[in-house]
Amino acid sequence: MSRVLIIGAGGVGNVVVKKCAQHPEVFTELWVASRTVSKCEAIAAEVDKLYGVKVQTAAVDADSVPELVALLNKVKPVLVINVALPYQDLTIMDACLECGINYLDTANYEPEDTAHFEYSWQWAYQDRFKEKGLMAVLGCGFDPGVTNIFCAWAQKHLYSSIETIDILDCNAGDHGHPFATNFNPEINIREVTQVVRHWQDGEWIETPPIMSDECVHFTFDYPVAGPRESYLLYHEEMESLVKHINGLKRIRFWMTFGQPYLTHLKVLENVGMTRIDEVEFEGQKIVPIRFLKALLPDPGSLGSNYTGKAVIGCVFKGEKDGKELHKYIYNVCDHAECYKEVQAQAVSYTTGVPAMIGAMMMLKGIWKGEGVFNVEQLDPDVFMDELNKNGLPWQVVDFEGKLPE
């Protein structure tokens, strides 16, 4: 009996619930809880219609540990899949510890009042999860998540040592809106407006944010999507990969952005709409980025008109048996196909499918352990097979393209 509770009923939550419902032999009982229970009920109704699977729903404020504890004691799941927002990671981990429940998420903790995300807060739970004999798996979406698994698989099967990793994330899709984000706008804009960092020879090197004229970018020729301008960006999986990939000398993360997106972002930043602190407005306090979120399209609603592909992968340089080796592992995901299957765009899909697979690995006992783990610390083989079976097939090819030195 594997009863699982999914927290969060947004773009990603919708995919996780539907993908779990496709495996009733593993996920024998499903619950979805979120702040707005009507969103959970809407997903449950669709799952019933699509798969004939009953999903139970609940309202919870995941910022409150007592509310979470009451829910966990009522539901008694073996695992919580956290696809709410990064702000709730620690409260959900606290509640899991109190109730003796395993934990999995897709994004690392970020305090609401500081646009800074890093693993240190969640790694600090290592001893507490270990003492309770529980497992917490961090960052099991696509990036972080599948990109880390690609690195673990390359380290295990392709290389004696990996010298450099370039993670390349291309969304070549078109949703028809002049400006929209593909996942929660607040979290997304906080991420992409930061000072950029990459890691080289043991230290983090800072470069200007992507809206700056001095930012670092180049044109990469993506499989299927073709040449796209790709911008150096800080992304959280680099923080754990520098610890877990042996002999690594450099890791960078690149993401494609179109010029209209960057122009909008620059204007929004310049006029103060991306601020995360409170400002006084007509007698009340508002946080500009929250107001902006209310105006922008809900990422979950983008799917119905989304066309084109997302192409995400890792380019490796290293050596095997004394020979230099360049490999590229990537997935191509089609927005419209995702919508047809689970009524979601590819960014929600590529995050939700790996979260389901990670949960499956834990429930089947393929991933076992006590403490807090990043996914590259766990065996990648069955996970890689499941990607192929669950809508995210990957390819590994010799890399013949060019990357900046």
Binding site for ligand NDP (CB under 6 A): 8-13, 34-36, 39, 60-63, 83-86, 88, 106-107, 141-145, 183-184, 187, 299-300, 347, 351
Closest CB to ligand NDP among 86 and 209? Answer: 86
Shortest approach of ligand NDP to residue 207 CB, angstroms? 22
How far, in Å, CA of 61 to CA of 70, rounded?
Answer: 11
What is the rounded CA–CA span in Å between residue 135 and residue 122? 12
Question: Could you tell me the smallest distance in angstroms from the CB atom of residue 182 to ligand NDP?
Answer: 7
CB nearer ligand NDP, residue 93 or residue 347: 347
- The least CB distance from residue 385 to ligand NDP, in Å, is 20
In whole angstroms, what is the distance from residue 43 CA to residue 175 CA? 22
- Residue closer to ligand NDP by CB (options 290, 402) is 290
Q: Which is nearer to ligand NDP, 85 or 196 (CB)?
A: 85
Cα distance between residue 99 and residue 96, in whole Å: 5
Q: Which is nearer to ligand NDP, 1 or 294 (CB)?
A: 294
Nearest approach, Cβ of residue 190 and ligand NDP (Å): 10
- The least CB distance from residue 90 to ligand NDP, in Å, is 12
The residue at minimum Cβ distance from ligand NDP is 10
Measured from the CB atom, the residue of 112 and 163 that comes closer to ligand NDP is 112
Q: How far is the CB of 228 from ligand NDP (least distance, A)?
A: 19
From 249, 238, 379, select the one nearest 314 (Cα to Cα): 238
Phi (first) and psi of residue 211, to 5 degrees: -85, -10
Distances (CA, A) of 110 to 76, 125, 244, 299: 27, 15, 22, 20
Question: What is the distance between the alpha carbons of residues 318 and 320, in angstroms, rounded to a whole number?
Answer: 7
Cis peptide before 299 (omega within 30 of 0): no
The pair of three-digit structure tokens given for residue 161, joined into one six-digit string = 């040592």
Burial class of residue 58, CB neighbours in 10 A (0-12, 13-18, 19+): middle
